[in-house]
Amino acid sequence: MPFEIRNMFNDRIKIKQLLSGTPTGTEVVVMGWVRSFRNNQFIALNDGSTNANIQIVATLGEFDEALLKRVTTGASLKIVGTVVESLGKGQTVEVKAKTLEILGDSDAEKFPLQPKKHSLEFLREKAHLRFRTNTFGSVFRLRHALAFAVHQFYNERGFVYLHTPIITSSDAEGAGEMFKVTTLPLEGAPKNDKGEIDYTQDFFGKGTNLTVSGQLEGELGAMAFSEIYTFGPTFRAENSNTTRHLAEFWMIEPEMAFYDIEDNMNLAEAFIKYLINYALKNNADDIDFLDARLAEEEKQLPTEKRSGLGLREKLELVVNNNFERITYTEAIDILLNSNHYKKKKFQYEVKWGIDLQSEHERYLVEQHFKKPVIVTGYPAAIKAFYMRMNDGCEPGKETVAAMDILAPGIGEIVGGSQREERLDKLEARMKAMHIPLEDMSWYLDTRRFGTVPHAGFGLGFERMIQFVTGMTNIRDVIPFARTPKNCEY
C-alpha cells in the first residue's frame, strides 16, 4: 500500500500513518520531537499522533558530529528520508535519514523530561510539557476522542447542542459555592443604603457568577427542541481537595422533553456505553498502553489492594452488561443486611433518609454488585427542588424521581432526575426551600406554557475520562487543572 502524502505546506507525513504502512523505499518528510537518541545513530521521534515512535536512522559518518550533538531529548527535528524495513527488532519500518534539520534545540541539561519514568506528581507541576509523555499522550488523545463521541452520540439522536451561559445571575440550582464575576473594585466598592455592595453599579447591573450547571437553561431549550444537550465548562468554588473534584470542569447535560425517569436511565446507560465503545474501537492503542501501565502499577500494590481486572477487561465488562438498577430503599436494605454492616465496618450510620456516603456507594458498586449501579427514588429531603415528587409515597418518606449512576473506582459519575413539571407542586417545593419565585419566573414559565414531562442528567466529563483511562487523580485528565490554591498557566 503506497503512503498517502498529505498535501500540506511541507508535505509532512504523520508518524501514526507512517507506522501503519509497509517499507516501500518511498521518500517522506517527518517532523517531531526527539524522545531518545541511542547509539549516536537511532532517533526515536514522536509527533503526538500516537505513542509509538518512528525510528530515524542517521547512518554513522553521514552526518556532521556537531549537528548530531544537537539531537537531544525534546529537540524538534525535520527529517527527509526513505521508508525502509528495519534491521533491528523493535519495529518493522524505520526512516533512513537523508537530511536532518534541527527545528528547535532543547538544552539537555535543562529539559525536565528525561527518557525515564517520572512520577505523576512531578509531571503535574510540568503540565505544559507532560503532553509529550506516553501516559499523557494517551490520556489527552482519549479526552479528545470522548469529546468527539459525545457530540456524535447526540447528533445521531437528533439532539440540539445548546450553548448555555457561562456567566449567570441565577443562583437557584444550589449545586455549590460560586465564583463571583464582577468589574467592581475590591477596595472601595460602591455601597447601597444598607451598607451592602451596590451591584446595580456593576457591569451587568446585578450580582453575577460563573455557572455551576447549565441545567435550568437547558430545560428551556428542551421545551422547544424536545431534546438538547450542553457540553461546556462549569465552576465550583468549593474547597474540595480530592482526586475527583476540580474548581473548573466540563459537564455534559442532556435535557429531554417527553422522557420519564426510565427513559432517562436508558439514555444515560446507552450514552456511557457508547463513549466506552467509541474509545475501545478508535483508541485501542491508547487503551492498551494505559492498560499495561496500570498492570505495572498494580504489581507494586499489596495483593488485597489489586483490582484483579485489567483496564480493557473492566471497560468490556461495563459495555457488555446491563447496569444494575435499584431504588434508594433497596440500597439501604442491602446495606443493612450486609456483613459489612453487621461487623460495624461502616463509619457512617445507615438508615432510611441519609444521603449515601462514599463508603456506602463503594460497597454497593465494588463489593455487592461489582458493576455500575443506578440508584433511583432518593428521599426528597436530600435532593434539589426541581426533581419530580413521586406519587403515592408514605407520609414522611416522600421520594423524588432522581437517579445517580455509581461507577467502580470513581463513585458518582451521573446525577439526574425527572423534573417536576407540575407548576403547583414545583412552586410549593420552591417556597418550602426558600427559593425566591420572582427571580425564577423565566424558569416557571416553562411550566405555565405547555409544560410536559421531561428529564435530564449531568455527566462529569473528567470523571468519565478517569473511568476510561484508569487515571486515579482527576488532575491528570484535564490539561490544566484548577483546584484550590492552584491556577498555573
Partner RNA sequence: UCCUCCUUAGCUCAGUUGGUUAGAGCACAUCACUGUUAAUGAUGGGGUCCUCCGUUCAAGUCGGAGAGGGGGAGCCA
The yes or no reply on residue 94 touching RNA (CB under 7 A) is yes
Q: How far is the CB of 396 from RNA (least distance, A)?
A: 21
Phi-psi group of 348: left, alpha or beta (phi > 0 → left; psi -120 to 50 → alpha; rest → beta): beta
Sheet containing strand 324-327, edge to edge, reads 160-161, 227-235, 248-257, 454-460, 411-418, 399-407, 373-379, 324-327
Q: Could you tell me if 259 and 455 are in contact, meaning their C-beta atoms sit under 8 angstroms apart?
A: yes
Q: Among 362, 370, 371, 422, indicate the residue that binds RNA (CB under 7 A).
A: 362
Closer to RNA by Cβ: residue 202 or 388: 388
Unique residue bearing C-alpha cell 444598607 = 194
- Among the listed ranges 138-146, 231-239, 370-378, 387-395, the one in contact with RNA (CB under 7 A) is 231-239
The yes or no reply on residue 374 touching RNA (CB under 7 A) is no
Q: How far is the CB of 450 from RNA (least distance, A)?
A: 27
Q: How far is the CB of 232 from RNA (least distance, A)?
A: 13
Cell numbers that stand for 449 in this block: 406554557
The yes or no reply on residue 244 touching RNA (CB under 7 A) is yes
Helix or strand or coil: residue 144? helix
The yes or no reply on residue 373 touching RNA (CB under 7 A) is no
Residues 68-87 that bind RNA (CB under 7 A): 69, 72-73, 86-87
**Gap between the Cα atoms of 154 and 227, Å rounded:** 9
Q: How far is the CB of 468 from RNA (least distance, A)?
A: 14
- Among the listed ranges 31-39, 258-266, 331-339, 370-378, the one in contact with RNA (CB under 7 A) is 31-39
Closest CA to 181 of 205, 162, 164, 163: 205
Closer to RNA by Cβ: residue 111 or 184: 111
User: What are the DSSP calls for 401-438, one per residue?
Assistant: EEEEEEETTTEEEEEEEEB---HHHHHHHHHHTT--TG
Q: How far is the CB of 379 from RNA (least distance, A)?
A: 13
The yes or no reply on residue 49 touching RNA (CB under 7 A) is no
Q: 185-224 mask for RNA (x: CB under 7 A)?
A: ----------------------------x-----------
Unique residue bearing C-alpha cell 517520572 = 118
Residues 302-361 that bind RNA (CB under 7 A): 348, 355, 357-359
Closer to RNA by Cβ: residue 14 or 360: 360
How would you label 144-165 residue by residue, b for 16+ Cβ within 10 Å and e otherwise?
Answer: ebbbebbeebbeeeebeebebe
The yes or no reply on residue 240 touching RNA (CB under 7 A) is yes
Q: Among 17, 24, 26, 36, indicate the residue that binds RNA (CB under 7 A).
A: 36
Cell numbers that stand for 225 in this block: 427542541
Residues 2-21 that bind RNA (CB under 7 A): none
Closer to RNA by Cβ: residue 49 or 357: 357
- Among the listed ranges 178-186, 191-199, 269-277, 459-467, the one in contact with RNA (CB under 7 A) is 459-467
The yes or no reply on residue 388 touching RNA (CB under 7 A) is no
Closer to RNA by Cβ: residue 282 or 483: 483
- Residues that bind RNA (rule: CB under 7 A) add up to a total of 72
Q: Is the dihedral of CA 325, 331, 333, 336 positive or negative?
A: positive
The yes or no reply on residue 386 touching RNA (CB under 7 A) is no
Q: Among 27, 198, 412, 427, indicate the residue that binds RNA (CB under 7 A).
A: 412
Residue 220 buriedness (CB in 10 A; 0-12 / 13-18 / 19+): middle
The yes or no reply on residue 414 touching RNA (CB under 7 A) is yes
Using CA atoms of 282, 288, 291, 292 in order, give the dihedral in degrees to the nearest 10. Answer: -160
Q: Could you tell me if 186 and 217 are in contact, meaning their C-beta atoms sit under 8 angstroms apart?
A: no
